[in-house]
Amino acid sequence: MLRCAVMAFVLALFQQAASYDVVLQGGRVMDPETGLDAVRSVGISGGRIAAVSEQPLRGSTVLDAAGLVVTAGFVDLHSHGQDPENYRLKALDGVTTALELEIGVDDVGKFLQERRGRSAVNYGATASHPFARVRAFGGQPTPGAIVPATGPATETPASAEQLGRLAALVRKGLDDGGLGIGMGIAYTPGATRSEIIETFRLAAERRLPVFTHVRSTGRIEPGSSVEAMSEVIAAAAITGASLHIVHMNSSGARDAPECLRMVEGARARGLDVTTEAYPYIAGMTAVNSAIFNPGWREKLGVDYKDLQLVETGERLTRESFERLHASPEPKLVVIFSNTEEMVETVIRHPLVMIASDGHIEKGKGHPRGAGTYARILARYVRERQQLTLMDALRKMSLMPAQRLERATAAARRKGRLQVGADADVVVFDARTVVDRSTYSSPAEPSFGFRHVLVAGTPVVRDGKSADGVFPGRPVVSDQSLAISVSR
């Protein structure tokens, strides 16, 4: 008995004496998975969370978190901006993992290689169906373009030979570490229904998800949002592939509530279907893409004046639109097409996770690239009380991590503030955190994230981004690791 008491005393002494690489001292620790919401100190060692303690901890670096929320870093499943400028803005918005999953990248292996040891936040991508299609038709993706320009490779049904080449390229992207298959069906209207099903089969055969922008938007039949959702839910049911539908706010548009009921119904029947949204009434895409093929005004219920050229801020006219749509240059336009009420309805829905769809280029773009996550906390949690803080955190960290768990076991260590989790951690002031990016000044960083750690290394410290620090790691599918180990 006495020996036990001595042992316990020694153990307690040892824990108190233990020193961590970094300590976040005395913050309001919130973890959506366990429901923990209490004052704790967090000890970090070797890039992982090593202690969550009611007692103060000792560490080589101690950051005071009193009065601040301490939680898992946000996981952005839909981040087109994949360069240092965007990674810096992401970190200042609380994002510790930024993934290009909607459209994917042309060459997954090269994408990962180029970022190794050079990235502030964790990164990863899907194998791209749209870009593989461009190559299968003998073309080359335009450098820097996030979606293909409209042309024969996007408008024409593929031959059997082209489909064979497309499938081989997609499989190569999965071998190289793709987290699934990215599809932008609206950008490749020439893809037949059976090509879509075949592409879902490729994902199912690897047990990886499909991330997709659905074929069309609006109420006009054929080509409604409801029809487009039906196509991909059916493809998931037929093939067994998991499905993630991107930006429900803009793809569902006025029928987003019905589209969300479709997702609920599919899940109730046992299908693995998930979705996301960004908190803005406007979207953004390339004006020379197939989104703007004839009939777009009727389909989307918008006119030329509802398009704003990102580069200059000018609103378009019929003349300027026609010139830009026909140009090979992928100029971006912001599309004002949704209502605030609809965005609120979608954001509040318990199945909807938050993803930015962000892309800032030389300071230009859409404010979602820099402000999505702070905007959720400022506008939807604090000001309008549409979401509890815990629910908002769940939508921004835990749910996106769970979406990735079938593709990579590493995702089980993300989105959680728990012992053993990766030390991707954000520390912010819930009373003052706010987005500052606007349509006229889209690259204005968010305010209020005091510290942001990636694998235990601060990439934001005292509200300022740390330069020359690159702790970001690749997020790749488990099977690509297995393949590389067995080679």
Q: Judged by CB, which is closer to Zn ion: 187, or 380?
A: 187
Q: Judged by CB, which is closer to Zn ion: 125, or 454?
A: 125
> Minimum distance from CB of 283 to Zn ion (Å)?
8
- Cβ-Cβ contacts under 8 Å for 209 (sequence gap 6 or more): 179, 180, 181, 203, 241, 242, 243, 244, 272, 403, 406, 407
Q: Judged by CB, which is closer to Zn ion: 185, or 476?
A: 185
Three state DSSP letters for 43-59: EEECCEEEEEECCCCEE
Point out which residues pair with 428 in neighbouring strands.
69, 449
**Overall residue count recorded for the chain in this entry:** 487
DSSP 228-295: HHHHHHHHHHHH---EEE--HHHHHGGGHHHHHHHHHHHHHTT--EEEEE-S-SEEEEETTSGGGSTT
Residue 199 neighbours by CB distance under 10 Å = 27
Rg (CA), the chain: 23
Q: Judged by CB, which is closer to Zn ion: 100, or 176?
A: 100
Q: Judged by CB, which is closer to Zn ion: 213, or 359?
A: 213
DSSP class of 220: S
SS3 36: strand
Q: Report the C-alpha gap between 306 and 319 in whole angstroms.
A: 14
Distance of CA 222 to the CA centre of its chain: 30
CB 123 within 8 A of CB 105: no
> Minimum distance from CB of 288 to Zn ion (Å)?
15
- Cβ-Cβ contacts under 8 Å for 468 (sequence gap 6 or more): none
Place of tokens 């190794």: 116
Token code pair at residue 117: 């040891």
> Minimum distance from CB of 218 to Zn ion (Å)?
15
- Quick one: which of 410, 449, 444 has its CA closest to 74? 449
> Minimum distance from CB of 252 to Zn ion (Å)?
12
> Minimum distance from CB of 242 to Zn ion (Å)?
18
- Quick one: which of 75, 80, 70 has its CA closest to 23? 70
Q: Report the C-alpha gap between 161 and 203 in whole angstroms.
A: 20
Place of tokens 């097409």: 337
> Minimum distance from CB of 194 to Zn ion (Å)?
23
Q: Judged by CB, which is closer to Zn ion: 25, or 308?
A: 308
Distance of CA 69 to the CA centre of its chain: 22
Q: Report the C-alpha gap between 172 and 109 in whole angstroms.
A: 9
> Minimum distance from CB of 10 to Zn ion (Å)?
58
> Minimum distance from CB of 458 to Zn ion (Å)?
32
Q: Judged by CB, which is closer to Zn ion: 88, or 213?
A: 213
Q: Judged by CB, which is closer to Zn ion: 144, or 468?
A: 144
> Minimum distance from CB of 177 to Zn ion (Å)?
22
Q: Report the C-alpha gap between 351 and 64 in whole angstroms.
A: 34
CB 149 within 8 A of CB 330: yes
> Minimum distance from CB of 246 to Zn ion (Å)?
5
Interacting residues toward Zn ion by CB under 5 A = 213
> Minimum distance from CB of 469 to Zn ion (Å)?
31
Q: Judged by CB, which is closer to Zn ion: 213, or 244?
A: 213
Q: Judged by CB, which is closer to Zn ion: 213, or 349?
A: 213
Residue with the shortest CB distance to Zn ion: 213
Q: Judged by CB, which is closer to Zn ion: 102, or 422?
A: 102
Residue 482 neighbours by CB distance under 10 Å = 10
